[in-house]
Amino acid sequence: MKKLSIWISACRLRTLPLSISGAIVGSGIAYYRGFFDSSVFVLTLVTTLSLQILSNLANDYGDGVKGTDNEHRIGPERALQSGKISPKQMLTAIIYNAIFCFVLVISLIYVAFGAAQFITSLVFVVLGVLAIVAAIKYTVGDSAYGYKALGDIMVFLFFGWLSVLGTYFLYAKQLDFLMLLPASSIGLLSAGVLNLNNMRDLESDKLSNKKTLAGYFGFKKSKTYQQLLVILALVLMAIYSFLNSDNTMYLLLIAFVPFCIHLNSIRKINNPKDYDPQLKVLALSTFLLAIIFSICHSVV
């Protein structure tokens, strides 16, 4: 039982709501337009959650073996860092989870497209493999993109554009590029969560030679960057709501409140360790935004 709790902790459950926010937004739009399929919805959520857990385990392994997770790190103690899980055990878990993710990707594609749409299915298989590789390569290996200040753009693309637009396409078999607005909004907020993590770990990352945008910006400018990410995300969501012309979309203003509180909190922070609670705040606020967005669509 104790070992199970260690593995559950390594999965970082607090990151999971954020990971499915894009899928919820894409599903909400699909429901509104009459394309929703409950089987696709369930498989999309399970696949997304599995990919996020894979990313969390790989991040624990990558930062652990590189020594980035050390006594200078401010955030929660990681599994490899604590010695409760060995590198070999973690690597085995990553391999099994990657295989499980691939099976889920194939299952989702088959349910969404069937055997007839071979080319479309093949494209999504490639996208699924890329998502699995990206989940692992964030911190694992010599070419880990998380160590080259590329984490923000990758999070924006995978959590935002691919998650929202890809999910919608699974239902509708078509794209509406107006959806780039809410997709970009979710992507920007997801990048904001990563930036908070990097602002918290600014000093320890510098000692470990881990390059992040927060590291390049420094303490003050990374704060400004964080505020721009959140404000632009809210503006894009508001524009989409206005263009959508549904009165119920004004309910989204309720979801904007915690973001305003978050921005005010960020403005006041002077100690990097105080960024850690804001990760949960921003992640759950993004999840709330996705839920309210979908509810607004479902009641019109």
Per-residue pLDDT of the chain (300 residues; tens, 9 = 90+): 567 888 888 888 888 999 999 999 999 999 989 999 999 999 999 999 999 999 999 988 888 777 766 666 676 777 777 778 888 999 999 999 999 999 999 999 999 998 778 889 999 999 999 999 999 999 888 788 988 889 999 999 999 999 999 999 999 999 988 999 999 999 999 999 999 999 988 888 887 788 889 889 988 899 999 999 999 999 999 899 888 766 666 778 888 999 999 999 999 998 888 888 899 999 999 999 999 998 886 655
What local confidence, expressed as pLDDT, does residue 146 receive? 85
Residue 191 covered by a domain: yes
Residue 52 covered by a domain: yes
Report the C-alpha gap between 133 and 128 in whole angstroms: 9
Nearest Cα neighbor of 24 from 46, 47, 41, 49 is: 41
Residue 11 covered by a domain: no
What local confidence, expressed as pLDDT, does residue 101 receive? 96
Residue 10 covered by a domain: no
Residue 165 covered by a domain: yes
What local confidence, expressed as pLDDT, does residue 210 receive? 84
- Segments forming the whole domain that contains residue 31: 16-298
Report the C-alpha gap between 232 and 163 in whole angstroms: 19
Residue 3 covered by a domain: no
What local confidence, expressed as pLDDT, does residue 110 receive? 95
User: What is the torsional sign of CA 258, 261, 265, 267?
Assistant: positive
Work out how many domains the chain is built from and give that number.
1
What local confidence, expressed as pLDDT, does residue 253 receive? 82
Q: Determine if residue 269 is left, alpha or beta; phi over 0 gives left, psi from -120 to 50 gives alpha, anything else beta.
A: beta
Token code pair at residue 282: 């921003």
Residue 195 covered by a domain: yes
Residue 188 covered by a domain: yes
